[in-house]
């Protein structure tokens, strides 16, 4: 009898595991193939999951493919990846411009520009075609998930996943629960985050969450130090890297994030919270006006070569 009970328990456990496996997120779509969309796609594909990346037209799609190829080739030259890794990643990514192709996906990640109208437009489109159980994710860093989720019918299945750039190298992701997000959605997305190699950090919905809210004042203050002529950009970053064990200095981080993105974050936080530490530095505004946006344009606070390497 004990043996029979043991076998029954094993069968029940196996059945439960099978149900869990069937209920897992396996097919993912990303709307938006910018820097973040590419990085998220690479991360997901590298963990053996199929992913679709959707852009507005062929020109943007081809640019994204070329950028991702160049980024991975750079890692191969550094011996951080192999050609086999590259082939495996690209074999799991489907590129397209037809948003209808995402209708059977288990998870749809919005990675478009940090703008309410753009994000809501994406969610409204996919809400009409996606399966009822599909979870919608926004990669917003400063906007209200509750406001975004209320634009569609399945607000309980909307959650934020705030990835940091470069996505493949940053081992954490902020999970942002709106007022309407269900516990079931949170559990599924936490499991998905772990499967793609990210440590999920749960945060309450609030402008800037943890990482953006903390890094923006630091970047802003170091820009004031530079503007006031207290030290050079190189020496500011060196002091912060060696003094506080940062991998990258805050000014180089800003260039990597994109100065236009940093300005958008600051303006949103300044408008929402009204605190002076978020008011954008005049230097930042000037650089963005001049389209010196950082690494992606070859010049920001620092200058970069065609491969994105900082020129000293």
User: pLDDT tens digits, the chain, 312 residues: what are they?
Assistant: 434 444 545 434 444 443 444 578 999 999 999 999 999 999 999 999 999 999 999 999 999 999 999 999 989 998 999 999 999 999 999 999 999 999 999 999 999 998 999 999 999 999 999 999 999 999 998 889 999 999 999 999 999 999 998 899 999 999 999 999 999 999 999 999 999 999 999 998 888 899 999 999 999 999 999 999 999 999 999 999 999 999 999 999 999 999 999 999 999 999 999 999 999 999 999 999 999 999 999 999 999 988 788 987
Q: Is residue 4 part of a domain?
A: no
The answer as to whether 44 is a domain residue is yes
Structural domain contains residue 169: yes
Residue 75 has a pLDDT of 93
pLDDT of residue 19: 44
**Same domain for 179 and 119?**
yes
Q: Specify whether 114 is located in the same domain as 96.
A: yes
Please tell me the predicted confidence (pLDDT) of residue 6: 43
Residue finishing a domain among 154, 186, 204: 204
Query: Of 204, 228, 254, which residue sits at a domain end?
Result: 204
Residue 236 shares a structural domain with residue 195: no
Which residue segment(s) compose the domain that 269 sits in? Answer: 212-311
Q: Are residues 41 and 183 in the same domain?
A: yes
Residue 6 located in a structural domain: no
**Residue 18's pLDDT is what?**
39
Q: Do 30 and 151 reside in the same domain of the chain?
A: yes
The domain tally of the chain equals 2
Q: Are residues 165 and 96 in the same domain?
A: yes
CATH number of the domain bearing residue 224: 1.10.1040.10
Question: Which pLDDT value is given to residue 29?
Answer: 98
- Do 151 and 227 reside in the same domain of the chain? no
> What is the per-residue pLDDT for 22?
55
Considering the domain architecture, whether residues 91 and 116 belong to the same structural domain is answered as yes
Are 169 and 24 members of one domain? yes
Tell me, yes or no, whether 130 and 238 share the same domain.
no
- Please check whether residues 40 and 160 belong to one and the same domain: yes
Residue 156 maps to a domain: yes
The CATH number assigned to the domain holding 166 equals: 3.40.50.720
Same domain, yes or no, for 219 and 296?
A: yes
Alpha-carbon distance values, 83 to 69, 221, 267 (Å): 11, 42, 41
Q: Let me know if residue 7 belongs to a domain.
A: no
Q: What is the DSSP string of the chain?
A: -HHHHHHHHHHHHHHHHHHHHHHS--EEEEE--SHHHHHHHHHHHHTT-EEEEE-SSHHHHHHHHHHHHHHHHHHHHTTSS-HHHHHHHHHTEEEES-GGGGTT-SEEEE---S-HHHHHHHHHHHHHHS-TT-EEEE--SSS-HHHHHTTSS-GGGEEEEEE-SSGGG--EEEEEE-SS--HHHHHHHHHHHHHTT-EEEEEES-TTTTHHHHHHHHHHHHHHHHHTTSS-HHHHHHHHHHHH--SS-HHHHHHHH-HHHHHHHHHHHHHHH--GGGSPPHHHHHHHHTT--BGGGTBSSSEE-TTSPEE-
């Amino acid at each position: 009898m004990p043996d029979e009970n043991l076998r029954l328990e094993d069968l029940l456990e196996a059945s439960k595991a099978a149900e869990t496996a069937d209920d897992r997120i396996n097919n993912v779509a990303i709307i938006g193939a910018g820097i973040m969309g590419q990085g998220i796609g690479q991360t997901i594909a590298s963990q053996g999951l199929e992913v679709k990346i959707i852009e507005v037209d062929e020109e943007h799609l081809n640019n994204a493919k070329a950028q991702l190829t160049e980024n991975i080739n750079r890692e191969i030259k550094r011996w951080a990846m192999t050609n086999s890794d590259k082939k495996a990643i690209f074999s799991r990514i489907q590129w397209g411009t037809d948003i209808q192709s995402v209708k059977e996906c288990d998870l749809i990640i919005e990675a478009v520009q940090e703008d309410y109208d753009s994000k809501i437009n994406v969610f409204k489109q996919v809400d009409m075609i996606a399966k009822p159980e599909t979870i919608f994710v926004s990669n917003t860093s400063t906007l209200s998930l509750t406001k975004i989720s209320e634009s569609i019918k399945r607000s309980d299945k909307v959650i934020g996943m705030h990835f940091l750039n470069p996505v493949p190298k940053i081992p954490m992701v902020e999970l942002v629960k709106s007022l309407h997000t269900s516990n079931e959605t949170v559990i599924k997305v936490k499991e998905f985050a772990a499967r793609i190699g990210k440590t999920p950090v749960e945060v309450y919905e609030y402008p800037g969450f943890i990482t953006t809210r903390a890094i923006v004042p630091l970047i802003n203050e170091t820009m004031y130090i530079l503007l006031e002529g207290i030290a050079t950009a190189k020496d500011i970053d060196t002091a912060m890297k060696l003094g506080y064990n940062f991998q990258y200095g805050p000014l180089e981080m800003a260039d990597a994030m994109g100065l236009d993105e940093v300005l958008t974050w600051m303006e949103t936080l300044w408008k929402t919270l009204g605190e002076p530490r978020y008011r954008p530095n005049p230097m930042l505004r000037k650089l963005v006006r001049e389209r010196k946006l950082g690494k992606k344009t070859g010049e920001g606070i620092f200058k970069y070569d065609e491969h994105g390497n900082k020129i000293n």
